[in-house]
Structure 1
Amino acid sequence: MIKNYLKIAWRNLAKNKAYTIINIGGLALGMAVTLIIGLWIQDELSHDDYFENKDKIAQVMQSQTFNNLTGTGQAIPRPLEMAFREGYMDNFKHLVMSSWTNSQYLKYKDNSISRDGNFMQEAAPEMLALKILKGEKDGLREINSIMLSSLTAEALFGQEDPIGKIIEVNSQYDMMVTAVYEDLPFNSSFYDTHFIMPWEKYATTREWVKESEDNWGNNSFQMFVQIADNTSMERISSTIKDVKKDLYEDGVEFNPQLFLLPMKDWYLRSKFEDGKQVGGRIKYVWLFGIIGAFVLLLACINFMNLSTARSEKRAKEVGIRKSIGSQRGQLINQFLSESFLVVLFAFMIAVFIVLLSLTGFNELARKEIVFPWGNPSFWLTALVFILLTALLAGSYPALYLSSFRPVDVLKGTFKAGRHAGTPRKILVVLQFTVSVAFIIGTVIVMQQINYAKNRPIGYDKEGLIQVPTFSEDFTGKYDLMRSEFLASNAIVEMSSSSSPTTRIWSNRNGFTWEGKPEGFQEDLAWTEVSPEYAKSLNLKIVAGRDFSREFATDSNAVLLNQTAVKYLGLKNPIGMLIKDSSEEDPDPPLKIVGVVEDMIAQSPYEPVKQGMYVYDKGGESSYYNLRLNPQQSAKQNIAIIERVFKEHFPNIPFQYDFVDEQYGKKFASEERIGRLSGIFTALAILISCLGLFGLTSFVAEQRTKEIGVRKVLGASVFNVWNMLSKDFLKLVTVSCFIAVPIAYYIMNGWLQEYPYRVILKWWIFALAMLGAMGVTILTVSFQAIKAARSNPIKSLRTE
């Protein structure tokens, strides 16, 4: 029976080639979009699945309140470790202190490379269940040991066995390779951890870390834990909530609250507002899941519309089948078989489309998704997907077509009915409502990105590069290198800073100044810079003066940005003193010598943070900032800079970043969403137009004789075009008026997440409506004009 159903279904599809191509093509596109979105969602949801203990691993988080605004972050004070070990270890199987992931220079013989990695405590490899390829699993047992990822070991040693070999780190100390572990996958939180060194090495070789052992006010560290088997994240969070507040009296005013953030939430639900977890990337999972469902729905609507539109042509077939004894259930099975065959062919084409587009999609989405050929669960899901799609696409046509009365059909009195086309009209309206909403959403996303991109950033990022200076070799050599680089004529100015231009690495409080409001809790971005910082960035001085080497007192000078002046409530800031009351033996007060224009160092979608730029007395910067010579090409300048660099630092790899590229990365996430939305919107419109094209073709074919009569009676091409087009234009107009309020509501809610955001303008919605109508006119016009220009004699000669 099933074989017979499929055979008849194949004959019907082969007989109506144009209809079949439109149906299969539309479904294939819809299924391809749904498949690739499904793979993307699966990759998002499986983030960190590599770690066997994922459900038990968490990061200790801290919320603090400044002036009634609560902020949440991963940074915690170092004394918290001993507080947990001494009073709360029953809750934990492992507790691991960690540095932030930073770049280090690794050297073996004449081979020197730069890689990102962490300093972590001994339990880290077991907690993360690292797959050890060579060496010992407890490779952090000795203070001078280092564990390398597979690719890092290969880059350093080639085919040589790395175990037991000594490598030099930052020209500062020698470390012995004790283990090589499998490279962590791209969709994991520790993907950038290419080496791990003992926490004890970090704590004993950096003076500021030593001094932080009993300093509750220095939140500069990370702590990861694996909870015990007999407890839960929620229970531990309630237990540790007030640990810092109970042990740190000076911090009570900030109401520090500790809690655990499970690993499963690090990637998808890491956003906090006012101390509460409010989501994160999970919103994009929902967004693209909805887009995928709607795109597939559009393709299924095409199938329904074209199947029901051809109802009169298949009415006699249904009548004959019923008259010779076919039951309605058998007819439904027949039509569902056709639907299944179409969907099966469409799925095969969809897989081919996904394979062709996966590389480009990975580049666009910044993923490393591979097609899961060997995954049985994928193919089981695919089978369910095919069956559900076939049922969704074929159910309405099957029920509709199988309901015809054989007597009316065979007597020739069958009419589809005055309201037979109403379901098709509703489906067309639904299609274009979705498409227009997609258009509006995509335009607004791109508007928001461009709005932030065009925002004044306060400094000149063009022709500016930054060179990391993490090695001890750079200590005390800033003045020498500045002289050398300037003499090379490759740069026009150079400065140093304790953080990169596009980020804020340090925040401080505990300052006092004249007129400070009682109870005011300040939070200031802190950057130590050389005197040439403003000049090298072309940062405008709006009040007072810049740092100067001619004034010895400038070693205790400070520049504030405009936001900081307003934030601190200073009316005449120049010459005012700011004292650091957070230290037992504070440095001399800082004297405000100038105010600089606000510069964006954090998110371009957020207000500029209040910041202070302090004269760097220690000379231990993290970056050189070099302003390239505009009279020469960037390539020529970089080549000269590298040559000078290698003359002084032959054992350190030359690294640099263009600041404009680093700033551009701040838009990467939104741009990816915008581009993907644009592609999916284009495909949604294409699928909708395929259905519209098919419907127009059918209507033109159905009304061939009517068109012939009208032309004989003098109807013009425009009259015929208008007759065939106006109904579809009416439907699309209705779609626009439904889509606009829906899109406005959704996108206005999305924009509320950005303090610095575009204002929704009427022309965005008008443009989307005009675009939808224009596409409709183009789609319908092809068939309408073709029918209008046809010879009426051919359509009437059989009468």
Structure 2
Amino acid sequence: MFKNYLKIAWRNLAKNKGYSAINIGGLALGIAVTIIIGLWVQSELSYDNHFENKDKIAIVFQSQTFNGNTGTGPAIPRPLEKALRTDYGSSFKYLIMSSWTNKVYLKYKETSLYKSGNYMQRDAPELLNLEIIKGEKDGLREINSIMLSESIADALFGSEDPIGKVVKVRNQDDLVVSSVYKDIPLNTTFNDTYYIIPWEQYLASREWVRNSEDEWGNNSFQMFVQVADNVDMDKVSTTIKDVKKTLNEDTAAFNPQLFLFPMKDWYLRNSFKNGKNDGGGRIKYVWLFAIIGAFVLLLACINFMNLSTARSEKRAKEVGIRKSIGSQKGQLIYQFLSESFLVVVLAFLVSLLIILISLNGFNDLAKKEILFPWSNVNFWLISLAFILFTTLLAGSYPALYLSSFKPIDVLKGTFKTGKHAGLPRKILVVVQFTVSVAFIIGTVIVMQQINYAKNRPVGYDKEGLVQIPTYSQDFEGKYDLMRNEFLNSGAVIEMSASSSPTTQIWSNRSGFTWDGKPEGFQEDLAYTEVTYEYAKSINLKIIEGRDFAREFATDSNAVLINQTAVKYLGLTNPVGKFLRDDSDEDPNPPLKIIGVVEDMITQSPYEPVKQGVYVFDKHGNSSYYNLKLNPKQSASKNLVTIEKVFKEHFPDIPFQYDFVDAEYGEKFASEERIGTLSGVFTGLAILISCLGLFGLTSFVAEQRTKEIGVRKVLGATIFNVWNMLSKDFLKLVIISCFIAIPIAYYVMNGWLDAYPYRVALKWWIFVLAILGALLVTLLTVSFQAIKAAKANPVKSLRTE
């Protein structure tokens, strides 16, 4: 019998090809979008699941308060390790000091790479759950060893066995490969850890690190821990809270508070305000897309229900005949449910095809490596549950409603659907367009916020500005030589060096005094060491005073400050005044303020500019060369020339460079991906809604065929007929707009509150959304309305 039901269902679908295509296509599109969003959400929620002891792993965080403003982050001082091992060692299974993840030069024979990794203590392979392919798990035992990821080992050694081979690091340290581990997955915090070098090597190769053993104020390190198996992480976090403040009086004034920040929150809930985790972060995007996915599926199901119920009313005579020849109510219910089941299954199969076609493109857009879960039993169980649920949802109304008809009324022609029969469909259309209009408003505001930050003045000229990293002792003492060489090549019009990249702040300092400093003032300054021509090379505008100049020998003890720093330090007429750096035991010469520069964005473009000082680099501590390319030549030609000059002086170092405008663009990458994905899904949601509207318009026009014919015979114009068929739908969309606007305003205003530098919500955004929704509705409805209005009235009056 079920086979017979499916056969009838198939014939009904084949008979109404247009209706079937809209119904199946709309539902398939909704299912596909929802599954893709679901896979993205699952990928986000499973971040760092690669690590077996994720719930036991944490990073030590520190909060410090400067003048009532509390900042929080993972930077900690080196002496903290000894304090925790000595007094709280039993609370931890592993306690691992680590450098920041930095790129270094790796060289074997003629092959050179520039890859990121960490210097870490011996237990790092255990904490990171590294899968060793070759060599030993205890690969950091020897000071001159190095552990490499599989991809780096293959790139460096090819078919050779890497174990025991010597790799030159930073063109300075000869390290022996002790282990090769499987690449850490992309969906983890440590995905860019391509090498691990013993912590002892970090100490041996860098004097400043060795000297930091007792420097509680030098927060230049990070510490990863895994708490003991029988220990509660929250209790340990509470216990170590005041360790730094108790052991060091010099930093106690900043009220340092230590705590363990668990790995499960690193990626999704890493937002802190006033020293407290407010639960925000990337999780807001996960919720956003989960809601979008749910609503897109809802829109598709609404379409399915609307079209199913609308078409089912035309089958009243069929029901009457079936009941008159003995069909039971249960049989009719099964018939309608089987038809609904067939449509949902077909839509699901089509959705799988859509997903397979679009998944690679989605991965590129979302910067993911999502695979279709063919072997995931839970996915198929959820899919089956969805198919059954949607079948019941869309098929129950026609099944129960039509199966209850009295056959005599239907066959006599006295059956009426009632004036309120279409009310449920109208409500569903309102819901559809409420969601669609809200999506339109949200997407416009997201893109506006991104563009608002993008158009914010950066304070310098990033066009044609290139950065070359100088992470090797080979660069020491060669700055002036390289500057002359690059300038003489004709490819560069200006050059400088700096201790931080132009787009970031790598160092924050306190311990400064100045005339007029308020009692108890706790300064926190972004600190960058630069060479002569720094401002000129990046076209940083001098507001007051002058730039560093070679003709002034005293500029080695000079400093530039930005506009925000002038206000922050409370200075009037700052040029000529002095900053004294008392952070070291041996007092440094006072720094004379020779100029004030325009604020430049070095951190998030969504945040206020931080107060900064630019100190002359007299010790050669630069990390980057900053090169301004010759604008009269193409960038590619300039780079070829620059590489040639570079290789003449550094033949053993790979030529690496970054365009500053590209680096700056990365600051918007996450928001832009979210905005683009939101735009795509909004467009699909509108398309799904329009498909449903198109189908309903077609149904209404078909239902009123005779009425249209009569009206045309009586003199109605095409416009009259179009107006008659369109106005009801336009009313529904207008109602949707008035419901969507306050909802969208409330949600998006809350979203924007997370950004100190934010766009204002303008009235025209909401007007634009209304006009857009009305225009889309008119275009969708007009096709069928005009088609019906232009039909021959003679044929219309003959129709049954």
TM-score (norm 2): 0.98
Residue 769 of structure 1 is matched in structure 2 by 770
- Rounded Cα–Cα distance in structure 1 between residues aligned with 2:594 and 2:328: 93
Residue 349 of structure 1 is matched in structure 2 by 350
CA contact (8 A) 1:308 1:400 kept: no
- Rounded Cα–Cα distance in structure 2 between residues aligned with 1:390 and 1:185: 39
Shift of 1:439: 0.5
Cα separation, partners in 2 of 1:397 and 1:235, compared to 1, 3 Å? farther
Does 164-173 or 498-507 show the bigger shift?
164-173
Equivalenced residues, count? 799
- Rounded Cα–Cα distance in structure 2 between residues aligned with 1:714 and 1:457: 66
Residue 647 in structure 1 maps to residue 648 in structure 2: yes
Does 689-698 or 316-325 show the bigger shift?
316-325
Residue 314 of structure 1 is matched in structure 2 by 315
Residue 242 of structure 2 is matched in structure 1 by 242
CA contact (8 A) 2:116 2:193 kept: yes
Matches within 5 A, 1:655-734: 655-734=656-735
Matches within 5 A, 1:264-303: 264-278=264-278, 279-303=280-304
TM-score (norm 1): 0.98
Cα separation, partners in 2 of 1:217 and 1:395, compared to 1, 3 Å? farther
Shift of 1:246: 1.0
Residue 214 of structure 2 is matched in structure 1 by 214
Shift of 1:62: 0.9
Shift of 1:386: 2.3
- Rounded Cα–Cα distance in structure 2 between residues aligned with 1:398 and 1:100: 64
Residue 184 of structure 2 is matched in structure 1 by 184
Residue 92 of structure 2 is matched in structure 1 by 92
- Rounded Cα–Cα distance in structure 2 between residues aligned with 1:334 and 1:62: 66
CA contact (8 A) 1:497 1:527 kept: yes
**CA-to-partner distance for each residue in 1:196-224, whole Å, 9 max, x for gaps?**
00011112211111111111111111100
- Rounded Cα–Cα distance in structure 2 between residues aligned with 1:433 and 1:326: 41
Letter in 1 for 2:595: G
Does 571-580 or 179-188 show the bigger shift?
571-580
Residue 19 of structure 1 is matched in structure 2 by 19
Residue 574 in structure 1 maps to residue 565 in structure 2: no
- Rounded Cα–Cα distance in structure 2 between residues aligned with 1:76 and 1:637: 42
Cα separation, partners in 2 of 1:780 and 1:102, compared to 1, 3 Å? same
SS of residue matched to 1:114: strand
Residue 113 of structure 2 is matched in structure 1 by 113
CA contact (8 A) 2:122 2:140 kept: yes
**CA-to-partner distance for each residue in 1:528-586, whole Å, 9 max, x for gaps?**
00011000000011011111111111111100000000011001211111112222112
Residue 744 of structure 2 is matched in structure 1 by 743
Letter in 1 for 2:719: F
- Rounded Cα–Cα distance in structure 2 between residues aligned with 1:687 and 1:774: 16
CA contact (8 A) 1:304 1:397 kept: no
Shift of 1:328: 4.0
Residue 125 in structure 1 maps to residue 134 in structure 2: no
SS of residue matched to 1:494: strand
Shift of 1:324: 4.8
CA contact (8 A) 2:308 2:394 kept: no
CA contact (8 A) 1:308 1:401 kept: no
Cα separation, partners in 2 of 1:63 and 1:393, compared to 1, 3 Å? farther
Shift of 1:327: 4.6
CA contact (8 A) 2:495 2:534 kept: yes
- Rounded Cα–Cα distance in structure 2 between residues aligned with 1:398 and 1:59: 58
- Rounded Cα–Cα distance in structure 2 between residues aligned with 1:387 and 1:255: 58
Does 256-265 or 314-323 show the bigger shift?
314-323
**CA-to-partner distance for each residue in 1:427-448, whole Å, 9 max, x for gaps?**
0000000000000111111111
SS of residue matched to 2:711: helix
Does 51-60 or 415-424 show the bigger shift?
51-60
SS of residue matched to 1:775: helix
Shift of 1:404: 3.1
- Rounded Cα–Cα distance in structure 2 between residues aligned with 1:184 and 1:458: 38
Letter in 2 for 1:98: S
**CA-to-partner distance for each residue in 1:483-517, whole Å, 9 max, x for gaps?**
00001011000000001000000001111111111
Shift of 1:250: 1.8
**CA-to-partner distance for each residue in 1:49-71, whole Å, 9 max, x for gaps?**
11111121111111111111111
Identity %: 76
Matches within 5 A, 1:132-531: 132-278=132-278, 279-324=280-325, 326-531=327-532
Cα separation, partners in 2 of 1:701 and 1:530, compared to 1, 3 Å? same
Residue 533 of structure 1 is matched in structure 2 by 534
SS of residue matched to 2:86: helix
Shift of 1:11: 2.5
CA contact (8 A) 1:137 1:179 kept: yes
Root mean square deviation, CA, Å: 1.3
**CA-to-partner distance for each residue in 1:410-454, whole Å, 9 max, x for gaps?**
332111101111110000000000000000111111111111111
CA contact (8 A) 1:303 1:394 kept: no
Residue 29 of structure 1 is matched in structure 2 by 29
Shift of 1:399: 3.5
CA contact (8 A) 2:144 2:175 kept: yes
CA contact (8 A) 1:364 1:672 kept: yes
Residue 759 of structure 2 is matched in structure 1 by 758
**CA-to-partner distance for each residue in 1:734-771, whole Å, 9 max, x for gaps?**
11111111111111111111111111111111011001
The gaps in structure 1 that reach 5 residues or longer are none
Letter in 1 for 2:512: F
Does 237-246 or 381-390 show the bigger shift?
381-390
Shift of 1:253: 1.8
- Rounded Cα–Cα distance in structure 2 between residues aligned with 1:404 and 1:98: 76
Cα separation, partners in 2 of 1:520 and 1:393, compared to 1, 3 Å? farther
CA contact (8 A) 1:476 1:620 kept: no
Shift of 1:395: 3.4
Shift of 1:259: 1.1
**CA-to-partner distance for each residue in 1:38-94, whole Å, 9 max, x for gaps?**
111111111111111112111111111111111110111111100110011111111
Letter in 1 for 2:736: S
Shift of 1:721: 0.5
**CA-to-partner distance for each residue in 1:109-146, whole Å, 9 max, x for gaps?**
12111111100000000111100000000000000000
Shift of 1:392: 3.2
- Rounded Cα–Cα distance in structure 2 between residues aligned with 1:329 and 1:287: 42
- Rounded Cα–Cα distance in structure 2 between residues aligned with 1:248 and 1:325: 92
- Rounded Cα–Cα distance in structure 1 between residues aligned with 2:90 and 2:560: 48
SS of residue matched to 1:560: strand
Shift of 1:325: 5.1
Does 173-182 or 576-585 show the bigger shift?
576-585
**CA-to-partner distance for each residue in 1:686-721, whole Å, 9 max, x for gaps?**
000000000000111111111111111111010000
Letter in 2 for 1:88: Y
Shift of 1:381: 2.5
SS of residue matched to 1:694: helix
Shift of 1:173: 1.2
Letter in 2 for 1:313: K
- Rounded Cα–Cα distance in structure 1 between residues aligned with 2:386 and 2:313: 31
CA contact (8 A) 2:608 2:757 kept: yes
Shift of 1:321: 3.8
CA contact (8 A) 1:22 1:690 kept: yes
SS of residue matched to 1:147: strand
SS of residue matched to 2:8: helix
- Rounded Cα–Cα distance in structure 2 between residues aligned with 1:100 and 1:252: 25
- Rounded Cα–Cα distance in structure 1 between residues aligned with 2:794 and 2:777: 29
SS of residue matched to 2:220: strand
The gaps in structure 2 that reach 5 residues or longer are none
SS of residue matched to 2:251: helix
**CA-to-partner distance for each residue in 1:625-655, whole Å, 9 max, x for gaps?**
0000111111110000000000000000000
- Rounded Cα–Cα distance in structure 1 between residues aligned with 2:208 and 2:35: 51
- Rounded Cα–Cα distance in structure 2 between residues aligned with 1:586 and 1:121: 34
Letter in 2 for 1:685: I
- Rounded Cα–Cα distance in structure 2 between residues aligned with 1:720 and 1:414: 27
